[in-house]
Amino acid sequence: MSRLVRQPGVTRTPGARPASGGAPQRIGSARQRIASALRIERPGEDMAILFPAVVLVGIGVLMVFSASAMNSLIKTNDAYGAGGKQLFYAIIGFAFLYILSAADYRRWRSFAPLAMIISIALLIAVMIPGVPTEAGLRRSLSVGPLSIHAAEAAKFSLILFLADFLARRGHEIGKTFETMLSPLLAIALSVGLVLVEPDLGTASILGLIGFSLLFVAGVPLRWVLVPGLGVAVFAIALMFINGYQAARLGGFSDPFSDPTGSTYQTLQGLIAMAVGGPLGSGPGSSQQLGGINIPYAWNDYIFAVIGEEAGLLGMLIVIAAFLAIALRGLRTARRAPDTYGALLATGIVVWISGQAFVNIAVVLALLPVTGVPLPLVSQGGSSLIVLMAAIGLLLSVSRETMDPSQAGGSDARANRGWRNGGTSLPGVRRSSYGSPAPLRR
């Protein structure tokens, strides 16, 4: 959002300084001086969020090119087919990032309920028999040449809906069951429908996003812990019911139990990272004769390809980029001008950093295989576009961040400390539009 900045009507030569002891000369008409004094200055986005995101997208495009070349050549006779599509999706994603970062994030607030309804409808549509889906899996809706991953849309819309709803309810949230019905229903439908697909990894990310926003918004813990434990028990039960998920759990406890079967992908990923060493074996080496064969290397296990081709240095760069987005994103949430912006930034940070942690932990054999892609890096059109749109919203909030000394009116609660039953959110700062207002107690 633009801000009014008062500046003296002074004409300066770039790089020059006023002469000592003399006042700057005022030139121009009165109209010019007034226009200069009321000049609109547009705050810039947080480059500490934008730059790491661009680095991750760039690494992702290169690694998808490298990891999918042989597979694309065999299937389509075009070694650069998958990489070319990823580059195309990245260009579209940058367009969404620019549009959403340049506009005031509050403009999209009124679309939150509609976005939630559409995402639930997409999650239901992919499970209807006869509806075309990608590779026959009940996850992505195929519309001509396009493939829409319903769960990715659900993550984004859940953040929009919960941020809007919790900010509007304010301190009334959690006092009665009626105030909690809508957010709990939105979380339950999103998580439950994804679990039925079945996609346990994505469902866990949705649950993490939902209950993190409830916790940060100051909702009493009984509304966070009890439903959260219920969802966890249900997910564990489904894990043992589905044979392939039970096999993954058994393979996690002993990666060498089935080296040619259920643990093959895990072992190949570990071998690839070991082969890479400190600096890696070079770009494209994973596809050369003697390279490590990792199933779905361009998707869930692209971090292992980074370890093989770019070594420990490349893996550390990727981890550092995610840490930078997380830390600066949380700083943006703490300094947001209103509760809606704070919750919006928090949800996006939890989404990106939580999903990145799960993916990297799976590749390092610290968690069972879940099928969760690495954000901004793994192959996937709808996933990349939606994630870059979310980064755009985060940058839009970062334009409005302020120093703690600035104060004004907003819909943020003035007191959200532990003594009031919630974690810390921005205190009362200023109104959404206009000049700062006095601090309200």
Average of pLDDT values for 289-310?
81
- How would residue 335 be classed by pLDDT, with cut points 50, 70 and 90? confident
Report yes or no: 370 and 78 within 8 Å, Cβ to Cβ.
Answer: no
Find residue 4's DSSP bridge partners.
40
What's the pLDDT tens digit per position in 171-215? 677 677 777 888 889 998 998 888 887 778 888 899 999 989 988
Q: Which are the contacts of 175, defined by CB distance < 8 A and separation ≥ 6? A: none
186 φ, ψ to 5°? -65, -45
Q: Which segment of 109-118, 180-189, 289-298 scores lowest on mean pLDDT?
A: 289-298
Question: 68-96 pLDDT, tens per residue?
Answer: 877 777 777 777 778 888 999 999 999 99
State pLDDT tens for residues 225-279. 777 777 777 766 766 666 555 566 656 666 777 667 777 888 888 888 888 889 8
- Judged against a pLDDT cut of 60, whether residue 23 lies above it is answered with no
With contact defined as beta carbons under 8 Å apart, do 154 and 120 qualify? Answer: yes
Cα radius of gyration rounded to whole Å, the chain: 25
pLDDT mean over 46-65: 92
Say yes or no to pLDDT of 40 above 70. Answer: no
Q: Long-range contact list for 288-292, CB < 8 A, 24+ apart?
A: 292/268
- Cβ atoms of 213 and 347 closer than 8 Å: yes
pLDDT for residue 22 is more than 70: no
pLDDT class for 345, splitting at 50, 70, 90? very high
Distance of CA 133 to the CA centre of its chain: 25
**Predicted pLDDT at 198:** 74
**2-15 pLDDT per residue, tens:** 444 434 444 443 44
pLDDT for residue 329:
94
Residue 401: its pLDDT value, please? 77
User: Cα–Cα distance between 300 and 309 in angstroms, integer?
Assistant: 16
CB atoms within 10 A of CB 78: 12
Share of the chain above pLDDT 70, in %: 71
Residue of higher predicted confidence among 220 and 214: 214
422 near 339, Cβ under 8 Å?
A: no
Q: Indicate if the alpha-carbon torsion angle 177, 182, 188, 193 is positive or negative.
A: positive
User: How far is the C-alpha of 191 from the C-alpha of 203, rounded, in Å?
Assistant: 5
Cα 180 from Cα 440, distance rounded (Å): 27
Please state, in angstroms and rounded to a whole number, the distance separating the CA atoms of residues 289 and 271: 16
Residue pair 56/377 in contact by the 8 Å Cβ criterion: yes
**The pLDDT of residue 136:** 59
In this predicted structure, the answer to whether residue 21 has a pLDDT above a threshold of 90 is no
Query: 329 is written with which tokens?
Result: 């994103």
Q: List the one residue out of 393, 429, 374 whose CA is nearest residue 96.
A: 393
Q: What are phi and psi of 55, to 5 degrees?
A: -60, -45
Give one DSSP letter per residue of 186-203, joined into a string: HHHHHHHHHHHTT-HHHH
Q: What is the pTM assigned to this prediction?
A: 0.79
Compute the mean pLDDT over every residue in the chain, rounded to the nearest whole number. 77
CA distance 334 to 398: 10
What is the phi/psi pair of residue 149, to 5°?
Answer: -80, 110
pLDDT tens digits, 397-440: 998 875 555 434 334 443 344 344 333 454 433 333 333 333 33
- 155: which residues sit within 8 A by CB, 6+ positions away? 205, 206, 209, 351, 386
